[in-house]
Amino acid sequence: MTRFLSGRTPATNSEAFERALAVTPGGVNSPVRAFRSVGGTPVFLASGRGPYVTDIEGTEYVDLVGQWGPALLGHAHPDVIAAAHAAVDRGLGFGAASTGEVELAELVIDRLTLTGPDGIERRGIEKLRLVSTGTEATMTAIRLARGATGRPLLVKFAGHYHGHSDSLLSEAGSGIATLGIPGSAGITAETAAQTIVIPYNDEDAVAAVFAAHGDRIAAVITEAAAANMGVVPPKPGFNKLLADTAHAHGALLISDEVMTGFRSTAAGWWGLEEREGTPYDADLTTFGKIIGGGLPLAGLGGRTELLDLLAPLGPVYQAGTLSGNPVAVATGAAMLGGAGPEVYEHLPRAARAIGDGLSAALTAEGVEHVVAWAGSQFSIFFRADAPQNYAEAQDQATWRFGPFFHAMLEHGVSLPPSVYEAWFVSAAHDDTAIGRVLAAAVPAARAAAAARPAVP
Ligand SMILES: Cc1ncc(COP(=O)(O)O)c(C=O)c1O
C-alpha cells in the first residue's frame, strides 16, 4: 500500500473515504467510483494481480471492473509491467517524437486491416493520432468532423457516453445515467443546441434527423456497441445504416471504440461486424482504455485525407503535452502484443460462464432479469427482455442492483458500482476466479430477490 509522506496512512476503507471527502469532491476523482447509486463506502484498492484486486484492509476480490476496460490481460501482467519498467528506466517523457509512438500506431493500423470473407482487404483506419484520454479522442473527432465538413451539428444517441466534453453530455450514459441526471450544468445553451440526441437502434429517428437537418450535420457519433447504459448492442446492420445515411448526406460516422476497441475482437467491434458479414465504413474511430495498457493513452484513427486535416498538416488544431507518452505507448504495445487469438477465444468463454451462472442463480430465486451481450461484454438488467435503447434500459427494477452489488462485494466480487455499467472479464479470469464469482452469485441473487423499492 502507498505510505503517506505525512506518516498518517489510512488503515481502513472508511477512514480513507472520510479523509478523501475532506480533500476531493465526493471523495473520488471520477463520479462512478463513488458508490452513490449503490450506497455505502467505496473500497480503496491497494493492488491488483491477474483477476484479483486487494483493498487497503487486505481483502481480496475477483475483479469484474478491469480498470473500466484496460486490464485485458488481467492486473499487473508480467510482460506489461516489464515493458512499463523498461520505459520508465529510459525516462518518463520527452515532449518530442519517440519511436514507441510509431510502433503503437503500426500495431493498431495492422490490427484494423482485415481481409473479409469476399477476399477484399479492408482498412478500418489508415492513420492514428495519439491523445491521453477517450474524452480527448472524441472531442478531437468532433472538431475534425466539423473542420472537414464545415458543418455545425452533431447527432448522438441517448444513453451513449463518449467522455465529458461539452458537446457530448446531453442524455449521456455512464455516470450521467448512474446519477439519474439529464446532463451537466456549465454547458451553454448554444453548445447544447448543436448536439441532437436521438434514440438508439431507431432507424426512423436516424432517417428523420437527416431529413430535417441533413445539410447541417457534420457527424453522427455512436458507441460501436453501446455499453454505458448497460450493454445494448446495435441491431444487426445498424452501424452500416448509420454510415450509409451519413455518407448519403455528406456527413461522417464517428465510431467510438474506446470501450470495445481491442476487446470485442482483436480489431474491436468493427472487426466483429466484418466477421459477421455486416461491414461498415466508419470515417473516424476513437480508441482508449486497452490501447494504453492501463496508463493514460487514447487515439483517434481514420482515413489519411481526414487525419491529415489535423495540425501541423491541416487547419484543425489539436495538441497535448503528454500525448504519445513513451511509458504509456510501451505499456499499450505490450498489452496489445500479449493479446493473441487465444485471449480472444478465452474472453467470451469466461464471460459466458459468469453471465450464464449469474442468470441461473437469479432464475433460481425468481428474480426477473436478462443478461445482455455485446461480444464478451455483458451486463444484467432487472427486466424481462434485453433493451434496445436508453428508455428501455431505464425501465427496470434498478433498486435490486444495490443489494445485489453489496452481496457480491461481501462475498469477494467487485462489480462496477452501477446497474448502467458493463462488466469486464480478462484473459486472467480462470476457472478458480469464475468459480468464486458463481459462488457469490447465490447469496447475491437472494439479496436481489429480497430487495424492495424505496418508498418515495
Ligand atoms: C465509449 C466511451 N467513449 C469515451 C469514453 C471516455 O474515455 P475517458 O474516460 O478515457 O475520457 C468512455 C469512458 O468510459 C467510453 O466508455
Q: What is the pLDDT along the chain (456 residues), one digit of tens a residue?
A: 678 998 899 999 999 999 999 999 999 999 989 999 999 999 999 999 999 999 999 999 999 999 999 999 999 999 999 999 999 999 999 999 999 999 999 999 999 999 877 788 999 999 999 999 999 999 999 999 999 999 999 999 999 999 999 989 878 888 777 777 777 888 888 898 999 999 999 999 999 999 999 999 999 999 999 999 999 999 999 999 999 999 999 999 999 999 999 999 999 999 999 999 899 999 999 999 999 999 999 999 999 999 999 999 999 999 999 999 999 999 999 999 999 999 999 999 999 999 999 999 999 999 999 999 999 999 999 999 999 999 999 999 999 999 999 999 999 999 999 999 999 999 999 999 999 999 999 999 999 999 999 877
Q: How many domains does the chain have?
A: 3
pLDDT of residue 455: 78
161 is catalytic: yes
* 119 and 216 inside one domain: yes
Residue 59 lies in a domain: no
Range of the domain at 33: 11-37
Residue 108 lies in a domain: yes
Catalytic position from the list 61, 161, 280, 344? 161
pLDDT of residue 120: 85
Angstrom CA distances, 100 to 84, 129, 252, 303, 358, stand at 12, 13, 30, 22, 42
- Domain end among 338, 364, 385: 338
Say if CB 397 and CB 368 are below 8 A apart.
yes
Angstrom CA distances, 375 to 44, 170, 232, 348, 401, stand at 30, 27, 11, 7, 23
* 173 and 225 inside one domain: yes
* 216 and 270 inside one domain: yes
Nearest atom of ligand 1 to the alpha carbon of 69: 14
* Cα gap 299→318, rounded to integer Å: 12
* 243 and 109 inside one domain: yes
* 212 and 315 inside one domain: yes
* 221 and 352 inside one domain: no
* 379 and 326 inside one domain: no
* Cα gap 201→303, rounded to integer Å: 26
Q: What is the pTM of this model?
A: 0.97
* 160 and 256 inside one domain: yes
Catalytic position from the list 52, 55, 63, 256? 256
pLDDT of residue 170: 79
* 246 and 316 inside one domain: yes
Residue 262 lies in a domain: yes
* 248 and 377 inside one domain: no
Say if CB 45 and CB 54 are below 8 A apart.
yes
* 384 and 407 inside one domain: yes
Residue 44 lies in a domain: no
3-state SS class at 286: strand
Cβ–ligand 1 contact at 264 (below 6 Å): no
* 253 and 375 inside one domain: no
Among residues 98, 180, 130, the alpha carbon closest in space to that of 296 is found at 130
Task: Please tell me the residue having the least CA distance from ligand 1 atom 3.
Answer: 162
